[in-house]
Amino acid sequence: MRRREFTLLGLAGLGLPALAQDRAFAAIAEDFLEALWKLDPDAAVAAGRFEFAGRVTLPSSAQRQRMRAFTKHWLARLQRLPDAPLATADRMDRDMLVAKLQSDLWRLDTLREWSWNPAEHNPAAPLDLLLNTDYAPLAARLKALQPRIAALPAYYRAARDSLGRVTREHTELAIQQAPGVLGLLDDIGARAAEAHQAAAFKAPLARARAAVNGYVAHLKGLKPARGFRLGAALYEPKFAHDIQSARTGRETYELALQRREEVLTSMQAQAAALWPTVMGSEPPPADRFALIGRVIDKLSERHVARERFVDEIRAQIPQLEAWVRDHDLLSQDLAKPLQVRETPVYQRGVAGASIEAPGPYRPQDKTYYNVTPLTDLTPAEAESSLREYNHWILQILNIHEAIPGHYTQLVHANRVPSKVKALFGNGAMVEGWAVYGERMMMESGYGASPEMTLMYGKWHLRSVTNTVLDYSVHVLGMAEAEAMDLLVRQAFQTEREAREKWRRVQLTSVQLTSYFSGYSEIFALREQLKARPGFKLKDFHEQFLSYGNAPVRLIAAEMLKA
Ligand code: ZN
Ligand code: ZN
């Protein structure tokens, strides 16, 4: 509300009809999206738009040429729009679209991941969505799947032609993902049989399977000629495009080192204070990592029973809602309580707990908090997960994922009628908010105890260490053994968690910095505004979230203006 008033005043000063201008920009954004969905039906399907689902695009140089021309056309068109008549929200949308298009162009022509990452060419995601989303009756979905299955041999031919100097790690990933694609083809065959269409699908599915296997055989014959590390020359521009921070990658890394030291110092004091009650009469070790690690290890024994894991998470959600309400931290939408459920089997994979929210084209769909039960794990694996998500950390996980983290942020973001912000939202803002929310809840006294403070330190250190790790590995050449030591001994992670992280940092770059980058910018903004008279925490949260999923840098510019 406050923001709209401000906008209207600004426009009145210029003597421009605000509504007409709003509509004009909305129409341009709408034109852009419709053109994008036509050009890239896979992106459309991912966004929840299914009209062009039966259209096939190949990862070919011809398609890349079409994307390049499209991107340049729209970039020029959006950059021509003058600032002055645009409302604040529209100006942000325009800036976000320009940034997205610049990023797309940079990826296409400079990063060129399509030439060195064989896993980039994976047709499974849209096939999976078409098969498993109830957007239309099964027969209609099979009809959309048919041309896609028929095109898989051409798809993999184009993929092979695109590849040049590949990395070993991404080639291995693509080979590891092949059984998943084959499994999906089996599922499609089974659903086709259900719909009495087995005969029509039999031969195309056989050719599709052969194409997947042919791609794998081709990949096994390639000689990797590129390292997985991004290097400084690509890292800074990628950081700038993906994170949209006011800081550079280097500056963010240096800030993370500083924060790491602060967190470790406070954890050391906390662990020393806890030592006698937790560890008894044994003298505490002098080494700070050993001291903190031993206390955390002992405390981790306190955890929920394996079969109670999902129920316990379900029980905590109303407690978090009540805390946020009673402490006047943020408004919530009580008409739409968050539904906790076991992750659907076909979605189970990497993430143990995550928010699944419908996109802007499916507002009728529910938002779920998906939690993967520990039933499929061996006793040792389950114990390791339970120690990781112990009594204290499980609460922080729920703060991060649900309230006041991702779920609450999403409820606020959905009030912003901007498809641009919903579709191309800034990941660092979204993750940063969840990480900020953890700290803010601790500051409000939630679960206050020395044990909670120590465990929060461990959890927070994970976000900070993600940034240190990403920059160290991709720019500074950190070796595997050093990385494992950073994660296990110096950040108190389990061997298993650290292994997964090492794998992730080999396969991705920059994304791991989004948590700390977003958090540090939100926190700095709050501290800056706190110094102003009349600062109210709830108002700060409400206003910050009212801009939707925009980069913190753009939100900060607006909030500091007022
Ligand atoms: Zn146990
Ligand atoms: Zn998150």
CA 16 to chain centre: 39
Same-domain status, 316 and 427: yes
Same-domain status, 77 and 133: no
pLDDT value at position 2?
A: 25
* Model confidence at 34: pLDDT above 60: yes
Ligand having the closest approach to the CA of 379? 1
Quote the DSSP letter at residue 355. Answer: E
When divided into structural domains, the chain yields a total of 3
Decide which of 78, 111, 144 is a domain's last residue: 111
**What are the two backbone dihedrals, phi and then psi, of residue 371, each rounded to the nearest 5 degrees?**
-125, 125
* Residue 207 forms part of a structural domain: yes
Ligand having the closest approach to the CA of 436? 2
pLDDT value at position 351?
A: 57
Q: What is the pLDDT of residues 163-205, one digit of tens each?
A: 999 999 999 999 999 999 999 999 999 999 999 999 999 999 9
Q: Comparing 11-20, 391-400, 530-539, which segment has the lowest mean pLDDT?
A: 11-20
- Residue 65's domain comprises 3-111
pLDDT value at position 14?
A: 35
Same-domain status, 258 and 407: yes
pTM confidence score: 0.93
428 vs 125: CA distance, rounded Å = 23
Please state the rounded mean pLDDT for residues 473-491.
98
* Residue 317 forms part of a structural domain: yes
Same-domain status, 102 and 162: no
Same-domain status, 27 and 126: no
24 vs 4: CA distance, rounded Å = 17
Residue 4 pLDDT class (50, 70, 90 cuts): very low
Distance 382 CA to ligand 1 centre (A): 9
Ligand having the closest approach to the CA of 399? 2
Ligand having the closest approach to the CA of 511? 2
Residue 349 pLDDT class (50, 70, 90 cuts): low
Q: What is the pLDDT of residues 203-260, one digit of tens each?
A: 999 999 999 999 999 999 999 999 999 999 999 999 999 999 999 999 999 999 999 9
Decide which of 221, 256, 284 is a domain's last residue: 221
* Residue 281 forms part of a structural domain: yes
Same-domain status, 54 and 134: no
* Model confidence at 268: pLDDT above 50: yes
Decide which of 86, 111, 136 is a domain's last residue: 111
- Nearest Cα to 548, choosing from 438, 430, 439? 430
Distance 513 CA to ligand 1 centre (A): 32
pLDDT value at position 67?
A: 97
* Residue 342 forms part of a structural domain: no
Distance 449 CA to ligand 1 centre (A): 21
pLDDT value at position 502?
A: 96
Distance 512 CA to ligand 1 centre (A): 29
* Residue 144 forms part of a structural domain: yes
Higher pLDDT, 348 or 424: 424
Q: What is the pLDDT of residues 495-524, one digit of tens each?
A: 888 999 999 999 999 999 999 999 999 999
Distance 514 CA to ligand 2 centre (A): 10
Q: What is the pLDDT of residues 521-554, one digit of tens each?
A: 999 999 999 999 999 999 999 999 999 999 999 9
Ligand having the closest approach to the CA of 432? 2
473 vs 471: CA distance, rounded Å = 6
Residue 228, token pair as written in the block: 């997985």
Ligand having the closest approach to the CA of 391? 1
Strands 368-371 and 353-356: antiparallel
* Residue 352 forms part of a structural domain: no
Distance 340 CA to ligand 1 centre (A): 24
* Residue 32 forms part of a structural domain: yes
Q: Comparing 108-122, 275-289, 336-350, 429-443, which segment has the lowest mean pLDDT?
A: 336-350
Task: For residue 375, give every residue at least 6 positions away whose Cβ sits within 8 Å of its Cβ, in sequence order, or none.
Answer: none
pLDDT value at position 364?
A: 75
Residue 21 pLDDT class (50, 70, 90 cuts): low
Give me the residues paired with residue 167 across strands: 226
Same-domain status, 455 and 439: yes
Same-domain status, 102 and 78: yes
Query: Percentage of the chain with pLDDT > 90?
Result: 83
Give me the residues paired with residue 369 across strands: 340, 355
Same-domain status, 58 and 192: no
Same-domain status, 166 and 312: no
Same-domain status, 105 and 126: no
Distance 405 CA to ligand 2 centre (A): 8
Same-domain status, 269 and 294: yes
Distance 401 CA to ligand 2 centre (A): 6
If you average pLDDT over every residue of the chain, what do you get?
92
53 vs 41: CA distance, rounded Å = 6
* Residue 315 forms part of a structural domain: yes
* Model confidence at 6: pLDDT above 60: no
- Nearest Cα to 188, choosing from 179, 198, 173? 198
